[in-house]
Amino acid sequence: MNQIFVNKVSKWYGDVSALNEVSLELEPGVLGLLGPNGAGKSTLLKLMAGQLDASLGNITVLGRTYAQDATLFYDIGFCPEQDSLWEEFSGGQFLSAMLKLHGWGAHDADRRTKELIGLFDLERAGNRRVKGYSKGMRQKLRIAQALAHNPKVLFLDEPMAGLDATSRAFVADLVQEMGEQDRIVVISSHILHEVESITKDMVLINQGQLRARGNVYEIRELLTDHPLQLELTVSDPRTLVRVCMEYNHVVKIELDPTDPERIILFTQHQNQFFKDLPEILERGDLKLKSLHAEDEDMESVFKYLVK
């Protein structure tokens, strides 16, 4: 069963609640876990990766639990936000040691290590000890160890931190590729546009609670108390206003005093609005010259949800 079930999971640290009754179902593919710093993302990842025990609720990974089957850890790859590399090892020695801990033989571990060193462009480091690596090199090494043993499930906590633009693009492509290989990949970040470029399946978490799940448009549809703002330029704005006010999902329209053909429209249901738009234009015998959604991106949606 290639799934993860998070069932009403809560986690407390003393009197502090890090997660509050979070329920989540994951299937193969890439899921973006989004939220501001301190939202509970890292706690949720550590719970799913078996690094922490839940205070309440339960988690099932690939049809098993860590308490009942410790071999489940062999199927998990985890890159935590905290840096915990073995400083006195070279990058190659570190990767090889990690693979051997996963049960790989010496020959296969060395072969895979060379492959990863090349893949992550770490050859220039040679036999240098990890403590001399730059932040970007350390980050690439940490991601490499997480996926070295070809896990069925991969958890990446803020994996883009410290990477240059080229490395970020490489990691994004790699994550997408792994998600297409029947693996479950969860990538956590507070940098929204990076995750949005990797996957459209997103979970938004804030103050330990799951706020929404879906792609940016599905999540936007949930925000009926925060209408979507659209800017339209049409041949006859006043006719558009008259026609649009007959549709319940249009809650407000403003004329632009600086542009006689431009209006600002607010709708509570963007999908329904775009479905009705051809009919609206036909009824008013209108020509649509431009259309721009002011706050349709995930950044704007997220700002609404964390207020």
Last residue of a domain, one of 214, 244, 270: 214
Burial bucket for residue 34 (CB in 10 Å: 0-12, 13-18, 19+): buried
From first to last of its 307 residues, what are the pLDDT tens digits of the chain? 789 999 999 999 888 889 999 999 999 999 998 887 888 889 999 999 999 999 999 999 999 999 999 999 999 999 988 888 898 898 889 999 999 998 899 999 999 999 999 999 888 877 889 888 888 899 999 999 999 999 999 999 988 887 888 888 899 999 999 999 889 999 998 777 778 778 888 888 888 888 888 776 676 666 555 677 888 888 888 898 889 988 988 888 888 888 888 888 888 877 788 889 999 999 989 888 888 776 555 556 666 655 5
Residue 175 shares a structural domain with residue 69? yes
Q: What is the pLDDT of residue 35?
A: 81
* Total number of domains in the chain: 2
Report yes or no on 72 lying in a domain: yes
Residue 266: which of 234, 303, 223 has the closest Cα? 223
C-beta of residue 152 within 8 angstroms of C-beta of residue 2: yes
The letter for the amino acid at 60 is: T
Q: What would the two tokens of residue 239 be?
A: 């006719």
Q: Which of 34, 21, 28 is nearest to 4 (CA)?
A: 28
- Asked whether residue 243 falls in the same domain as residue 165, the answer is no
Picking from 192, 214, 236, the residue at the C-terminal end of a domain is 214
Domain check: are 210 and 244 in the same one?
Answer: no
Reduce the DSSP state of residue 87 to 3 states and report it.
Answer: coil
Residue 36 and residue 171 share a domain = yes
Torsion, Cα 164 169 173 178, to 10 degrees, reads 20
pTM of the model: 0.75
Domain end call among 184, 214, 244: 214
What gap in Å lies between CA 269 and CA 194, rounded to an integer? 26
| Nearest in space to 108 (alpha carbons), one of 95, 118, 90, 119 | 95
pLDDT at 216: 66
107 and 252 inside one domain: no
Which stretches within the chain are classed as H helix? 41-48, 91-101, 106-119, 135-147, 165-179, 192-196, 216-221, 237-244, 270-283, 298-305
Domain coverage including residue 97:
4-214
Find out whether 157 and 42 touch, Cβ atoms under 8 Å: yes
> Residue 70 falls within a domain, yes or no?
yes
